[in-house]
Structure 1
Amino acid sequence: MKNYSLRRLSDQPILKTTDLKPSMEGFEVLGAFNPAACRMGDQILLLLRVAEAPRPEKGWLHIPVVEHSDGVPRLTVKTFREPREPYDPRVVTIDGNVYLTSLSHLRLARSYDGIHFITDNKPFLFPARVDEAFGVEDARITFLEGKYWITYTAVSEHGPAVGLAQTTNFNDVTRMGIVLPAPNKDACLFPDRINDKYMMLHRPMVHEIGKPSVWLSESPDGVHWGQHRYVFGPSGKDWEYQKIGAGPEPILTDDGWLVCYHGTSRNTEYALALALLDHENPSRLIDRSEVPLLTPELAWEREGFFPNVVFANGWIQWPDNRIWVYYGAADYGVGLAELTNG
């Protein structure tokens, strides 16, 4: 992967948290980041992760959760005394229960040049299922067989799982349900069947034994997945020591399937890199980056709701084969970089 480079096209975010309005009265937008990306006709679409929370009140925590009553989802705000001891601003444990302090949904942004975007004010996909009670996050989009397949992380008290939705026009969307149970995330579909099977990369989350790694699974119908097998994990280098996960849908090149992935260092700094998989047997790793292609360097990549992050789960390929990578920065905004080979 030595010939590839990732060059920022702007030293400023092309979208930032302050560009978005909250979708609900009494809430504020904490972050707009980690977009999926695709082309639809002459438009570039981003599917942003938008994190919202009730406006803060000194001494109190107001935690948004989607609960069900008689099968109907309703947004509930739970109120607790703020812990006296220091706590993670994103995740908090109260009375033995773990909560996210914000609720994420997916929201559309549209552009004709891939740089200047107009963002919808309302969610495209809002948490509506029991397994989405804590939010829907970090989507990937794959155009496959006339439909846009959207994989996303569905979060609940049972952990993060992989959800699947489909649309043909980004006006109507159909949930297909949870396709990989918790704990799992970072799932992306291949844009073609391989050996007549749908293929998906994903990241089972491990704790006591092993480290996070990228796996491959296959399906006869896109809903029921099996034949899971390990593809690659952290190399042992510091920049991808703690976490690793696939990003956008793989792109087929003359050399194989090109995969963008993120790695996380011992100090929880996120970086972007590439891997190359065999085009007929994508469980076979051909090559991978020895050093990261993009690391947090600019102030808005290093300072934000969660600092020191560049995270890509969306890219597009132009007709002239240029590849633009849309990346989330510090859980605050969206950056744009171009991937070149040679």
Structure 2
Amino acid sequence: MKNRLLKLTGVLACLLIFNFSVAQPRHQKLLPAWAFGGFIRPQNVNPIISPDSTKKFMDPMSSKAVGWEAYYTFNPAATIKNGKIVVLYRSEDKTGVEIGTRTSRIGYAESKDGLHFARNDKPVLYPANDSQKEFEWPGGCEDPRVAVTANGVYVMFYTQWNRKVPRLGVATSKNLTTWVKHGPIFRKAYNGKFFNMASKSASILTKIANDHQVITKINGKYWMYWGEEHVYAATSLNLVDWTPVVDNKGELKQLISPRKNYFDSDLTECGPPAIMTSKGIILFYNGKNHPSEGGDKRFNGNSYCAGQVLFSNTNPAKAIGRLNVPFLRPMEPFEKSGQYVNGTVFIEGLVYFKKKWFLYYGCADSKVGVAVFDPSKPADPDPVPTL
């Protein structure tokens, strides 16, 4: 088995297949063959989206013109439309004093090269006097992930935040600017058992088909990974109503969890849409480092770095590989300054474009950045700091 990390033979090579901890020592510098990366930050491009206080939007809830992206722009989804990359990003106005107390809306940006973007003047998804008002006001619409079906229906999962309970909501569109809101995705499952439980961060399963990244099924159903502290899963027949995967006690089945003394020691929060590959399903996720003795001392406490975990193609709930150090971490000044000074590269958008993978991420909960992986020219991941 070719592996850019270790040259293993004999018995040790067998261990690599069945025990992914062997393949991923804590001090690894290179990536295993199944992983994506490294991702390179293009020079003189980032951040690609920053706040703009000049744009005003007539808010239907307050009937006032608000600077809808005046404070921060971050945590982006991404997809392809008409041969262009579209980034859907979270924006915050200035109605509050800290994250979680302002109103968030989803903005639209479009690019021919994936690096330079033209932005719409108004948000495309936001709280309104509609069927979702009770779930989205006053906190708003946060942290989108988006993917497209083979027949061209865009599906967005986002956090509906009413400042009481965060819930995963879903919306669909044919053009990425006009959206139909369908509401909380777990409302019907198990007689509403998980409806009032906090839920965030949905990564639907996709694959490459005819050179396009599209939503796919596994075992006859749509599949997603979701969760903030742990990684869970859910299935659906219609992309709107989702049924969480549970254990034999009827509780949410934890697929991966935080690990003591690692970069993901506090949270393992799902990132962009998962990708089905010949080696397995890759879930990209955001690992938060624990601020105390339980964290990895090489990274700032409470910092967010990006990880990857490999799940089985035949059993998508079974993890068979996992990176033990992040492939992307806060390194640039704009990734360590803003409203989250501990450092954040929060990945939510990943698209296949012109034979390359473009990864879009939130920078310190303040701006949007991009990093690019060229499979024809594999690069090293971000270097791991030393103590």
TM bucket (normalised to shorter chain) is 0.7 to 0.9
Displacement after TM superposition at 1:101 (Å): 2.6
Alpha-carbon spacing, 1:10–1:214, altered in 2? closer, same or farther (3 Å) = farther
Letter in 1 for 2:203: C
For 1:247, the equivalent position in structure 2 comes to 271
For 1:261, the equivalent position in structure 2 comes to 285
Query: Counterparts in 2 of 1:112-261, with a 5 A limit?
Result: 112-128=112-128, 129-133=133-137, 134-146=139-151, 147-180=153-186, 181=195, 182-190=197-205, 191-203=215-227, 212-228=229-245, 229-261=253-285
Q: Which runs of 5+ in 1 are unaligned?
A: 55-62, 64-88, 92-99, 206-211
Secondary structure in structure 1 of the residue aligned to 2:40: strand
Give, in whole Å, the separation in 2 of the partners of 1:285 and 1:39: 29
Give, in whole Å, the separation in 2 of the partners of 1:26 and 1:170: 22
Alpha-carbon spacing, 1:311–1:31, altered in 2? closer, same or farther (3 Å) = same
Letter in 2 for 1:271: C
Displacement after TM superposition at 1:340 (Å): 5.0
Secondary structure in structure 2 of the residue aligned to 1:248: coil
Give, in whole Å, the separation in 2 of the partners of 1:293 and 1:149: 27
Secondary structure in structure 1 of the residue aligned to 2:317: coil
Secondary structure in structure 1 of the residue aligned to 2:217: coil
Displacement after TM superposition at 1:237 (Å): 3.0
Query: Counterparts in 2 of 1:314-333, with a 5 A limit?
Result: 314-320=349-355, 322-333=356-367
Secondary structure in structure 2 of the residue aligned to 1:314: strand
Corresponding position: 1:283 with 2:317 = yes
**Is the Cα–Cα contact under 8 Å of residues 149 and 166 in structure 1 kept in the other structure?**
yes
TM-score by length of 2: 0.72
Letter in 2 for 1:143: V
Q: Higher strand share goes to which structure?
A: 1
Secondary structure in structure 2 of the residue aligned to 1:29: coil
Give, in whole Å, the separation in 2 of the partners of 1:290 and 1:240: 9
Displacement after TM superposition at 1:10 (Å): 3.3
How far does the alpha carbon of each residue in 1:75-110 deviate from its partner, in whole angstroms, 9 at most, with x for none?
A: xxxxxxxxxxxxxx425xxxxxxxx43100001101
Secondary structure in structure 2 of the residue aligned to 1:5: coil
**Is the Cα–Cα contact under 8 Å of residues 216 and 283 in structure 1 kept in the other structure?**
yes
For 2:7, the equivalent position in structure 1 comes to none
Secondary structure in structure 1 of the residue aligned to 2:240: coil
Secondary structure in structure 2 of the residue aligned to 1:130: helix
For 1:106, the equivalent position in structure 2 comes to 106
RMSD (Å) for aligned C-alpha atoms: 1.9
Displacement after TM superposition at 1:227 (Å): 4.6
Give, in whole Å, the separation in 1 of the partners of 2:43 and 2:348: 18
**Is the Cα–Cα contact under 8 Å of residues 142 and 188 in structure 1 kept in the other structure?**
no
**Is the Cα–Cα contact under 8 Å of residues 53 and 71 in structure 2 kept in the other structure?**
no
Alpha-carbon spacing, 1:194–1:20, altered in 2? closer, same or farther (3 Å) = farther
**Is the Cα–Cα contact under 8 Å of residues 36 and 141 in structure 1 kept in the other structure?**
yes
Displacement after TM superposition at 1:7 (Å): 1.9
Alpha-carbon spacing, 1:26–1:136, altered in 2? closer, same or farther (3 Å) = closer
For 1:7, the equivalent position in structure 2 comes to 40
For 1:90, the equivalent position in structure 2 comes to 98
**Is the Cα–Cα contact under 8 Å of residues 326 and 336 in structure 1 kept in the other structure?**
yes
Q: Report % sequence identity.
A: 28
**Is the Cα–Cα contact under 8 Å of residues 53 and 70 in structure 2 kept in the other structure?**
no
TM-score by length of 1: 0.81
Runs of 4+ deviating beyond 4 Å:
none
How far does the alpha carbon of each residue in 1:203-223 deviate from its partner, in whole angstroms, 9 at most, with x for none?
A: 1x6xxxxxx111111122223
For 1:271, the equivalent position in structure 2 comes to 305
Corresponding position: 1:310 with 2:345 = yes
**Count of residue correspondences:** 293
Letter in 2 for 1:49: R
Displacement after TM superposition at 1:302 (Å): 0.4
Give, in whole Å, the separation in 2 of the partners of 1:166 and 1:26: 26
Displacement after TM superposition at 1:291 (Å): 0.4
Alpha-carbon spacing, 1:38–1:20, altered in 2? closer, same or farther (3 Å) = farther
Secondary structure in structure 2 of the residue aligned to 1:7: coil
